[in-house]
Amino acid sequence: MAGLINKRLEGSTLVEVLIALVIIMAVFTIATAVFSNVLNSGVSMRRIQVNAQMEELRLHFLDTIVVDEQRLYIDSIEYHVSFLDSASASVTRVEISATDHGKSAGKIQFLKAIHPDAKKD
């Protein structure tokens, strides 16, 4: 037992510990930046949901005779449907834009035949 007490443990110097700490922090910072970039550049479920909802709205407005501007709120996303002028009197250009918390989430445009009974304000 007396032999164990007299042994000294080898340790690292303060400089070695600080260098190791700086290296670990640099690796962690780079890994965080890469992870953040991957999250922001990937296709999110929210974006897929917005595109699917805009396609559903497009099909809905192709089947209706409504030609008034509308604002719709679906799943906390604002969809703005606007009817734009076109060169032909029997066709109008429809634009559906999506906004998610003030940030543009997508936009589609398509042509729609105007029903003779439809009246634009």
Task: For residues 77 and 91, state if they share a domain.
Answer: yes
Domain that holds residue 74: 45-113
What strands, in cross-sheet order, belong to the sheet with 103-113? 70-74, 77-84, 91-100, 103-113
Mean per-residue pLDDT of the chain: 84
Say whether both 75 and 93 belong to one domain: yes
Same domain flag for 30 and 82:
no
CA separation (Å) from 44 to 17, 22, 64, 105?
41, 34, 31, 11
Cα–Cα distances in angstroms (integers) from residue 118 to residues 34, 60, 64, in the given order? 53, 16, 10
Neighbours of 67 (CB within 10 A): 17
pLDDT for the residue 119: 52
The reported pLDDT for the residue numbered 98 is 94
Count the domains in the chain: 2
Domain match, 57 and 76 both = yes
Residue 81 in any domain: the answer is yes
Tens digits of residue pLDDT in 35-67: 988 887 766 788 889 999 999 999 988 888 776
Q: How many CB atoms lie within 10 A of CB 94?
A: 19
- What's the pTM value of the predicted model, to 2 decimals? 0.58
